[in-house]
Amino acid sequence: MLKQSLLLIIISLLISPAIADSENSGTERAIFAGGCFWCMEPPFDKLDGVISTTSGYTGGHQENPTYYDVSSGRSGHVEVVEIVYNPEKVSYEKLLNVFWVNIDPLNNRGQFCDNGSQYLSAIFYIDEKQKKTAEKSLDALKKSNVLKGKIVTTVRPASKFYPAEEYHQDYYINNSLSYKYYRYRCGRDDRLKELWSSSKES
């Protein structure tokens, strides 16, 4: 608990408050890659101010990729979750904090049991404000020394987002048993506990 609290304090001190103080009354988008997109929807859906999460693909060269195109690695895309949120209720900084403690930033092969470039962790920024905030968040995590190892998560410009097939959306709700089994088999929660402690922000 102390480990996680220290991390969040350090990140909060080093990140610019510009995003949190946004006066924009409309919605904004954030795009994060943390391995299997099924597993990245639940922690954000819990947040007050998050309007929707959509599993999808970005960062590749093929137009209108299918799941099979992406999972094969041929399209160059990464599995991501797109978050639509109200910045007056939840800040981009808060989304970043939730992102970090739901991924393994040290894995340079993918995430958890899923290997390949399509599962690499990344923050895809929408604009320069997000870019600066994401880079400061990454730098703060590195300086905190909370994680013992090289942090390989990247900050990348967002390209066209393609929603995944309908059966992937809200998979953890619509196929809860299959989702729980996959998550357990993948060792995701054990690894997250090892990295961030059982009291992680999620």
126: domain range?
2-196
Inside any domain, residue 201: no
The answer to whether 92 and 123 have CB atoms below 8 angstroms apart is no
Domains: count for the chain: 1
Residue 144 forms part of a structural domain: yes
Establish if 48 belongs to a structural domain. Answer: yes
Which residues, in sequence order, are bridge partners of residue 110?
Answer: 115
Catalytic residue among 36, 39, 113, 186: 36
The answer to the question of residue 202 being in a domain is: no
pTM of the model: 0.86
CB 150 within 8 A of CB 165: no
pLDDT digits (tens, 9 = 90+) for 16-47: 443 333 334 599 999 999 999 999 999 999 99
Q: Look up the CATH number of the domain holding residue 157.
A: 3.30.1060.10
39 is a catalytic site residue = no
In-domain check, residue 74: yes
**Amino acid identity, position 97:** N
Whether 44 is covered by a domain: the verdict is: yes
pLDDT tens for the 202 residues of the chain, in order: 545 554 554 455 444 443 333 334 599 999 999 999 999 999 999 999 999 999 999 999 999 999 999 999 999 999 999 999 999 999 999 999 999 999 999 999 999 999 999 999 999 999 999 999 999 999 999 999 999 899 999 999 999 999 999 999 999 999 999 999 999 999 999 999 999 984 455 5
